Structure formats: C-alpha cells, structure tokens
C-alpha cells in the first residue's frame, strides 16, 4: 500500500512529498548493479523491455553514471535563492562539467581501471562513431534515437520542442560504437535567449559529427530543408555525409511514401532518403546500415555496455520535466526548468531527492500547484513512479515550485542549467 503523500502548508514555498514502494520492479529497463565502490553505479537492463506504442525493445545495456559519495551529494540550495546571489554563480568549475560538444578522449580520466578493463588495454581503431540527429520540432528525433539505442534515453511527448539539451546516447555492438546526439528541434523564430543557446548546441553537435541524420515528418507536404541545414549545420565549407529520414511512414499510404521519397531525392542535397516509422521500429536497421557505411573508423570511446554518460541527476530532472509536458498545456511546460537540488543515497531508508521547478511567473506557479495542491500532487506521484522504475529503488521525492522571472533570458542561469554546452557531472 502506498504511503500517504504530505503537502507543506506553506503556500509561498509549496512542496509536495511523494513516497511509495515499487509495485512492478520488472517494468523498467534499468536495475542497479552496484560494483567496485559506493560512489559508482550502473543502471542495466536485464531481460526486460521498453514499450513504444505496440513495439517492445529488448535490451541488455547499462547506463553508466557517476555519483558523489554520501557526504558530497548535497547541492548548495541557497545559490539561486534571490536575484542578488545569481551574479555569483560559478559556472567555471571545469572539473564537474561534461562537454556536450567535443568528442571524448579515449584516455580521459573519466575511465578508471574497471572501465579500461572492459574496453580492453589495446586501442581498437576499427570502430566508428559520432552521429548528430537534427530536424524541426516534433518530427520524432528522440523516438528514433531511443529505438537505435534500444532504451529510452530521451523523453518523448506529443508536444513540440520537448528536448532542450543534446542527449548523448551510445549504441554499441562488437563491430561498432555509434555515439548519437539527440538535439533540440530547429527553431526559426527565437523568442528567448534559451532558444538561441539551444540552436547553438544543435550547430555544435552537427559541426563535430562524422555524419548527420535529418528527420522530416512524412505526413506533411514535402518542403525544402534549407532552414534545418542553416540552423543545424551553419556555414560549413565541407558538410558531413547526410541522411534524410522520412519518419511516421506508418501514418500515410505506400503510394504517398513513394511520391514524397522521390521529391526529397530530387529537391534536397542529401546522400540518401530512407522512410521509417520510429514509433514502431520499422526501417531502423536501414538507418543503422547507412550510418555505418559513412562513419570513419576510429577507437571506441566508451565501454560497450553503457548507453549514456549523462549523470543520474540529469535523467531524474528529465523525468519530472516529461511529466510536466504530459500534464500541463499551453505555455506552462515551456516556462519550466527542473533542477535536482539534492540527491541523498540512504542505505537504511529510501533515497531522498529534492527537486525544484522554476517558472517565469507567479501565475504559472499557481497553475502548477493547482487547487489545494492537487495538480502538484499528481505531477509528483507520476514523476516518482517513473523515477523508481528508472532507479529500481524506492525514493522520497520532494517537489518545490519557485519563481525566477525571465529565467529564459538570463544567460548566466542558462549556462548554470546546462544550456551552454556543458552539464554538471555530479
């Protein structure tokens, strides 16, 4: 029986606390494999599946992450409490940041003896890697990336512009290792500084890529992709190999697919066009084969059994943000930033996770909380259940809503939140 949630009586700093047991521990594709030390964990899929519509993907990968030791897990909560302290944010702590632009160095300090043992002591230069996935909003980039990796790494909703960060996913086999960057949708009209920084991240990912996959919606009338190429690739003198993927072919008739395929082959400057249904996994192997035929040979950058190098906190925040997109409408989901303030691993009790949801206006905060806190209660419960499935452990989740006016225009805050091309590793 799930424990009763508790709601803080202080409306000015409304919190929701959610806690329960995991009713179906086999639902998630992840489980904790704690090896070697307490400051490290692996999330691994074992004989389990992820459901995408009617398609289920079996996987046996691990999500490799690093955590702080118990005494280091606290994040300074007072850092962003008021406007005066925002100017003092330190975003230059290179030791705690992971770059989302540069290819990783195989000999980087990220790999300890255990990982080097898994990789092998001798470099293998026959591996191929690094693919940027770009396209307009809501064309299925995240769904395609998740299908190729075999696990849900990027959040997916029916709303456009759900992805904000470049999500690094790793697809490995004995013969290859593809590093996929799922990027935000290309925005033509940039309304905030956040939009500008996201588009710079898209270009950075494409510039460093060995090949680029461009997604279009097969349901829509064929159109030139110059805007996507301009925003996604910039003014590159030498463009990498490009594949155009017509997604959502399951929603149109075969005759229409052939006509649109012919149009894109004739009027776009890409190397090949492949129709797929990312939702159901149709055509995914064709995309993989094309990518492998274009990628240069090189060393594997990561152990073969991991699917991302993003830290655990990142995915916890993304789960909460996904639930916000699913529960709320109009402008509210786009005005929200989710930060994990504290993550305490407690061996004798449930892990404690403190999350803040930052919004632009007090009116948005009122909508998030809802009448008598019911909306926030629903949000926190849905997020906690998915977090417990993801971590395969029981957690105590605290959700707090705060107002930071015009946070989407504050470059310092945006860099601190990870939109400057780096995320915090701890």
Task: Give the pLDDT score at 186.
Answer: 87
What are the extents of the domains in the chain?
A: 97-294, 312-424
Task: Give the pLDDT score at 103.
Answer: 53
Task: Give the pLDDT score at 110.
Answer: 42
Q: How many residues does the chain have?
A: 426
Query: Which stretches in the chain have pLDDT values below 50?
Result: 1-14, 19-95, 106-116, 119, 121-123, 426
Instruction: State how far the alpha carbon of 106 is from the alpha carbons of 33, 122, 298, in Å.
Output: 24, 11, 10
Task: Give the pLDDT score at 302.
Answer: 85
Task: Give the pLDDT score at 37.
Answer: 28
Instruction: Please give the CATH number for the structural domain made up of 312-424.
Output: 3.30.300.20
Residue closest to 386 by CA, chosen among 72, 156, 103: 156
Task: Give the pLDDT score at 381.
Answer: 97
Task: Give the pLDDT score at 97.
Answer: 58
The answer, as to whether pTM is greater than 0.75, is no
N-to-C CA span, the chain: 34
CA angle 50, 52, 54 (to 5 degrees): 110
d(CA 396, CA 350): 6
Give the tens place of pLDDT for each residue, 308-365. Answer: 888 889 999 999 999 999 999 999 999 999 999 999 999 899 999 999 999 999 999 9
Helix (H, G, I), strand (E, B) or coil at 173: coil
d(CA 164, CA 139): 15
Task: Give the pLDDT score at 314.
Answer: 92
CATH for 97-294 (3.40.50.300, 3.40.309.10, 2.40.480.10, 1.10.10.10)? 3.40.50.300
Task: Give the pLDDT score at 20.
Answer: 40
Residues 100, 421 contacting (CB under 8 angstroms): yes
Instruction: State how far the alpha carbon of 199 is from the alpha carbons of 45, 223, 268, in Å.
Output: 33, 21, 22
């Amino acid at each position: 029986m799930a424990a009763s949630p508790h709601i803080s009586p202080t409306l000015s700093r409304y919190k929701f606390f959610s806690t329960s047991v995991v009713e179906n521990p086999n639902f998630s594709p992840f489980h904790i494999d704690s090896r070697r030390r307490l400051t490290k964990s692996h999330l691994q899929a074992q004989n389990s599946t992820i459901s995408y519509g009617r398609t289920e993907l079996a996987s046996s990968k691990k999500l490799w992450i690093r955590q702080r030791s118990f005494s280091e897990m606290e994040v300074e909560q007072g850092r962003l409490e008021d406007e005066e302290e925002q100017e003092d944010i330190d975003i230059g702590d290179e030791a705690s940041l992971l770059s989302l632009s540069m290819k990783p160095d195989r000999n980087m300090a990220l790999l300890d003896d255990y990982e080097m043992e898994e990789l092998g002591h001798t470099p293998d230069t026959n591996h191929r890697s690094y693919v940027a996935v770009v396209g307009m909003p809501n064309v299925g980039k995240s769904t395609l990336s998740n299908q190729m990796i075999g696990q849900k790494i990027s959040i997916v909703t029916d709303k456009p512009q759900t992805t904000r960060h470049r999500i690094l996913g790793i697809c490995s086999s004995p013969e290859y290792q593809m590093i996929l960057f799922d990027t935000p949708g290309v925005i033509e009209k940039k309304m905030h500084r956040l939009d500008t920084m996201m588009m710079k991240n898209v270009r950075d990912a494409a510039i460093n890529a060995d090949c680029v996959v461009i997604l279009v919606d097969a349901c829509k009338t064929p159109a030139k992709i110059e805007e996507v190429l301009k925003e996604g690739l910039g003014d590159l003198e030498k463009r990498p190999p490009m594949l155009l993927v017509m997604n959502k072919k399951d929603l149109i008739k075969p005759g229409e697919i052939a006509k649109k395929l012919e149009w894109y082959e004739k009027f776009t400057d890409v190397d090949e066009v492949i129709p797929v249904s990312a939702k159901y996994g149709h055509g995914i192997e064709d995309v993989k084969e094309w990518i492998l035929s274009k990628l240069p040979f090189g060393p594997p950058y990561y152990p073969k059994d991991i699917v991302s190098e993003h830290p655990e906190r990142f995915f916890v925040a993304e789960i909460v943000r996904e639930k916000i997109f699913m529960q709320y409408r109009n402008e509210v989901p786009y005005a929200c930033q989710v930060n994990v303030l504290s993550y305490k691993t407690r061996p004798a009790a449930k892990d404690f996770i403190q999350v803040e949801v930052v919004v632009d206006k007090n009116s948005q905060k009122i909508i998030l909380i809802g009448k008598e806190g019911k909306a926030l209660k629903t949000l926190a419960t849905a997020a906690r259940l998915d977090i417990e499935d993801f971590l395969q452990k029981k957690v105590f989740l605290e959700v707090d809503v705060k107002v930071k006016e015009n946070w989407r225009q504050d470059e310092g805050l945006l860099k601190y939140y990870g939109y400057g091309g780096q995320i915090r590793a701890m």
